[in-house]
Structure 1
């Protein structure tokens, strides 16, 4: 049987700390790859030419004698300049560092005007269901900018060609103003365990801006909330995560302990980091005493601010990888890029070989600049696209 190691989406906004970041009191660390960033937005006029973010990565074991044939699969959100919308793309990698975007991207797009998810779709959560040999995706969608999100569902025979389920979402806000998810539900993370689908999601409503809830389904379509209350609440006044807990990311270890990584923000939202919590039942969570676990780098670094949406996967040997998105400044006109960290590794996988002497590798993309006249140009390019409003 093939093995899939699920991955995760989370959001971070970070401050200056060393590259090796303490994960817990056991001195396990996340070591950032010194070749970061490893993936960029696409070329001008492309579907993802402004920013890439909100990924889901899994390790796919092809179940043959040569483990080098195994791959990492990634589904990610991309933002377009000219369309000013967000769709979902697909990429593959042999080592988790060097990624090839699928030529047929985007693989899941917004619906027609007037439908529930026509403005943007993002935050994919993907698994392969061995019971019916089908790839399944849950994603957040919204019909109007700054509107309330709902969660949609799609299926695929190959992870690349997707069909949305009907013309409606499968999970919506509660609709009650006094509940934590009364206005919006987003950032789903779904696993299949003991024959049922388990979803942790961010809910928006009530006093706190986002807190994490939990729902269960027999078929991945019809969902029941386990509780009307969040299962991972914001911290107490003065805590690093008193403002929100959002973007859950789940892995179940061999001891059946459920691990969650999540984004937390302070009360002013000026500080955002990533935390970790564990549970044995998915409802009662213990936050890590070392939280927050990962922060940004020094001012001026590519990931100095707005490090977010990490996704975690394990390879066949149990080594754990974390991908995250970041940008150098917390401005809507600054694009996100993809970085990588290794969990407690004693070595780093070998990246793509260095080009031979005399062969000049292509330079990384240059971040766009936003002139005052409302045009958006990429430095070093003749392409210039009108962009009246840039939205994250």
Structure 2
């Protein structure tokens, strides 16, 4: 099946998800905004996002997840002989014991339009307020070293396991334009990481047409003894949708949602060609999921919602 035929036949939402009618909620005059990290604190949503025209990481707040304050840049590129922080993007922010921790992607961009010949690494910074960041290291804390990681590591998602006193990271590795699969690593201090020996832990399933090409850029949400993975599945290099999978340990035994993809492009709309990088929060009554959609070369951030806790996985 060719791309145009596929897009005409895929449903824009499934499994009870609904796209917000006023999408996108961020973008417009700001240009491309993409790949976010979120948390809810004191009745406000806090968002760190990738701001492509500035090649920087930016921050904004909202009371409803729809209307956002004017963004401010919180971390900018720096000059290095290696060129590995010319472009900053794809943050993951964790609040742990009064300190904000952020892992992000530093890139040596390749040649446009697809930038296939660049490289990407993961870096680490800390903050006491989530706004003023200090780099914890001037060198990458994770680099592409294994064959499956090829030339790029990007799109980290990190949680703090207080019981194990351990940072746990899910990251994407592979090609520079779009990574290929998802790996897992752990760290005691955020600087020194041990990669899981059986990486990658999550790869494309060719039997599911919507994700036959690649999987990448996940968010992990722990709920009711499950690790829920919200992730991107690629029909081809330019056609992306969002799905869910779950695992008991966050590493093995992943079970995909039977109605994947849950969010797909709406042909002719702002997200008409691809839906990328989900980030979901549950408030006790409703799931809210932000994602970046692409039409042409412009990516903007939109919102989808799901009433109730039950996401529709089979009972176990």
TM-score (norm: length of structure 1): 0.70
Paired with 1:203 and 1:192, the residues of 2 have a C-alpha distance of: 21
Q: Give the match for residue 76 of structure 1.
A: 49
Q: Deviations over 1:77-119 (max 9, x none)?
A: 1122xxxx511100001111111024xx210111114355332
Paired with 1:234 and 1:306, the residues of 2 have a C-alpha distance of: 17
Over 3 Å counting, the alpha-carbon distance change for 1:110 and 1:318 in structure 2 is farther
Q: Going by fraction, where is helix more abundant, 1 or 2?
A: 2
* Structure whose CA Rg is larger: 1
Q: Going by fraction, where is strand more abundant, 1 or 2?
A: 2
Q: Deviations over 1:192-234 (max 9, x none)?
A: 11321100011116xx951111111111111001124311111
Please say if 1:166 is aligned against 2:137.
yes
Paired with 2:35 and 2:200, the residues of 1 have a C-alpha distance of: 22
Gaps of 5+ in 1: 1-13, 24-28, 43-48, 63-69, 347-392
Paired with 2:244 and 2:282, the residues of 1 have a C-alpha distance of: 17
Over 3 Å counting, the alpha-carbon distance change for 1:238 and 1:277 in structure 2 is closer
Over 3 Å counting, the alpha-carbon distance change for 1:50 and 1:33 in structure 2 is closer
Paired with 1:197 and 1:166, the residues of 2 have a C-alpha distance of: 17
Contact 1:173 1:185 in 2 (8 A): yes
Q: Give the match for residue 281 of structure 1.
A: 249
Q: Give the match for residue 27 of structure 2.
A: 40
Q: Give the match for residue 185 of structure 1.
A: 153
Deviation at 1:320, TM superposition (A): 1.5
Over 3 Å counting, the alpha-carbon distance change for 1:97 and 1:148 in structure 2 is same
Please say if 1:152 is aligned against 2:115.
no
Contact 2:17 2:306 in 1 (8 A): yes
Q: Give the match for residue 291 of structure 2.
A: 324
Q: Give the match for residue 53 of structure 1.
A: 34
Contact 1:123 1:139 in 2 (8 A): yes
Contact 2:14 2:260 in 1 (8 A): no
Q: Deviations over 1:334-370 (max 9, x none)?
A: x222211111269xxxxxxxxxxxxxxxxxxxxxxxx
Deviation at 1:237, TM superposition (A): 5.7
Paired with 1:92 and 1:197, the residues of 2 have a C-alpha distance of: 25
Q: Secondary structure at the match of 1:100?
A: coil
Q: Which has the higher contact order (CA 8 A, sep 6+)?
A: 1
Paired with 2:83 and 2:158, the residues of 1 have a C-alpha distance of: 21
Task: Give the alignment partner of residue 213 of structure 2, picking from 239, 243, 250.
Answer: 243
Q: Give the match for residue 279 of structure 2.
A: 311
Contact 1:124 1:188 in 2 (8 A): yes
Q: Deviations over 1:238-282 (max 9, x none)?
A: 6332211100111001x221000111113x435322121101112
Task: Give the alignment partner of residue 75 of structure 2, picking from 102, 108, 124.
Answer: 108
Q: Give the match for residue 194 of structure 2.
A: 224
Task: Give the alignment partner of residue 336 of structure 1, picking from 283, 299, 304.
Answer: 299
Paired with 1:163 and 1:222, the residues of 2 have a C-alpha distance of: 17
Please say if 1:290 is aligned against 2:259.
yes
Q: Give the match for residue 10 of structure 1.
A: none
Over 3 Å counting, the alpha-carbon distance change for 1:73 and 1:312 in structure 2 is same
Gaps of 5+ in 2: 1-5, 111-116, 310-316
Over 3 Å counting, the alpha-carbon distance change for 1:52 and 1:209 in structure 2 is closer
Please say if 1:122 is aligned against 2:114.
no
Q: Give the match for residue 100 of structure 2.
A: 135
Q: Give the match for residue 373 of structure 1.
A: none
TM-score (norm: length of structure 2): 0.85
